[in-house]
A and B are shown apart, each in its own frame.
Chain A
Amino acid sequence: MIETTTPKTQAEAQSPESPGAAIELTGVAHSFGDLEALAGVELNVAPGEVVAIVGASGCGKSTLLELIAGLAEPSTGSIAVGGERDAAARLDACAWMPQRDLLLPWRLAVDNAALGLRLAGIGRAEARERAGGMLERLGVGEFARSHPRQLSGGMRQRVAFARTLLTGKPVLLLDEPLAALDAITRAELQELLVETLAAERRTTVLVTHDVEEAFFVADRVLLLSPRPGRVVWSAASPVDRSEPRASAVTAPAFAAVREAALEALAEGRG
């Protein structure tokens, strides 16, 4: 095994005792048959850091998360999570929240949230209690005993997020958790996300196609080129999280970095 060195990033100072694990990707490329989805992705995420990945539709963002999650091996290159390279170890270390909520319609919200706990061998009563607490914390406690089809899109995402958090794994991989939500619900959930991620201090990779959301939620934003995806641009977020969302997103520094990102996105497309 090669000794891995943790990269220095701004997040390190801010979370010295994060339960998160580092993520390191070197030269990661992935193809589906003839289709080249990713090409030469280099990415280092420090323990406890929150990184957002932005990119055009179909550029390989979901593929990248699945590779990190250990659900597949890259065609070339290496991926290490917490210094471990094999897929089984990555599966163990990563909590993956897929693009669709994938709630099981026959399980109550609380039992959907508790799915990971049950699969980890925790008894029904304890799993339910912990899941109930998490739903409470994410603002959907009163819907614990509803079935998914009785919930709105925003509530379903909260339940799916609870299921992800409850796994207790050191790395969170969130695939467009707020896409397909209306603007108000989205803003509300962005704040919830910021709050929760700050409290959790786990290493997080958030995929989104919303540049503003990326800078608002993450410490650092990476831009993926159109397919085959590569990291072509990155910037630290200027957002001061102690401020309310409204003033954060209207600050001049925020506007500047957003402009720059949008420009880079447009460039990659042209």
Chain B
Amino acid sequence: MSARQPSLIARWLPPLLLVALLLGLWELAAQTGWIADALSLRDYLVPAPSEIATTLWDNRSLLAENAWVTLREVLLGFAVALVAGVLIAVLLHLSPLMRRASYPFIVASQAIPIVVIAPVLVVWFGFGIGPKVAIVALICFFPIVVNTLDGLGTADEEQRKLMRSLGASRGRTLTLLEAPTALPYLLSGAKIAVAVAVIGAVFGEWSGADAGLGYLIRLDDGNLEVARVFASTVILAAMAVTLFALLALVERRLAWWGAGSPGGGR
């Protein structure tokens, strides 16, 4: 906390310069046709950043419409995973028996190949928002549960003894000690989750949808609309980065005490 924070400019300048440099190189390489030549492709298959920007602008309403569909899937799926993940983490924390019994399944849930399960879910639940939300939730669930569970177990033995000595019940120890200790862990799990949630939504849309950026990308891929594929990708990346940054902000506001067992002293 006492460590000096670099100023806003100092923090953002290096990544911005790097992005500008890469974009510049790309622009140059695309304009002069180096990449297309090297890959023996037609020029229109390798759009320059300027062309992508133009496409973004010209297709703004189409892209916005589909981005909104994807964003809704992401937010809903994330919310489902957050609620279910936290509830299950608390349950498993309170019951060591259940924890031992179900932990393997939680780990296994992470091992499910989304590419395989996505089409099945679409067959089951149709082309609507349902399967996409389910896939996003499935992807987000794991980091949230595991991190929250870790966080709930972080308060040390001594700390629990103090609560007991002060007359705290199991429930009060959970709300007054363990939950605040776990909050920073939960939020860093949630950050990981939103970052991958967008990928989950795109997978869901690929497997069968009538709207969304993933659907649009698939369509454009078929029609060799390469510039618009890139435009959609840019929006997806921006979406993930924005959600991540928002959660980082929440983390700094709500869980400023950070990870670790509370109450140092010595």
Query: Which chain A residues have a beta carbon within 8 Å of chain B's beta carbons?
Result: 66, 69-71, 91-92, 94-96, 98-106, 115-116, 119-120, 148-149, 153, 156-157, 160, 163, 167, 179-180
Contact = CB atoms under 8 A, between A and B. Distances in A.
14 contacts: A98-B162, A99-B265, A100-B263, A100-B265, A102-B158, A102-B162, A102-B263, A104-B176, A104-B177, A116-B166, A116-B167, A119-B167, A120-B167, A149-B257
A91 B166 CA distance: 8
A160 B162 CA distance: 11
A190 B38 CA distance: 80
B168 interface: yes
Contact of B262 (A70, A96, A102, A179): A102
B189 interface: no
The residue among B159, B162, B172, B264 with the most chain A CB atoms within 10 A of its own CB is: B162
Contact of B166 (A100, A115, A149): A115
B172 A105 contact: no
B161 A71 contact: yes
Interface residues of B, number: 21
Nearest to A94: B165
Contact of A104 (B158, B165, B180): B180
B1 interface: yes
Contacts of B263: 100-105, 148
B170 interface: no
Contacts of A71: 161, 164-165
A116 B166 CA distance: 5
B197 to A, nearest CB: 28
B266 interface: yes
A119 B265 contact: no
The residue among A70, A98, A102, A180 with the most chain B CB atoms within 10 A of its own CB is: A102
Nearest to A160: B265
A91 B262 contact: no
A153 B161 CA distance: 22
A183 to B, nearest CB: 17
B266 A179 contact: yes
Nearest to A120: B167
Contacts of A69: 165
Contacts of B264: 100-101
B261 to A, nearest CB: 9
A91 B266 contact: no
Given A66-B161, A91-B164, A96-B165, A102 B1 contact: no
Contacts of A98: 158, 161-162
Interface string B228-266: 000000000000000000000000000001000011111
Nearest to A173: B165
Contacts of B161: 66, 71, 96, 98
A172 to B, nearest CB: 12
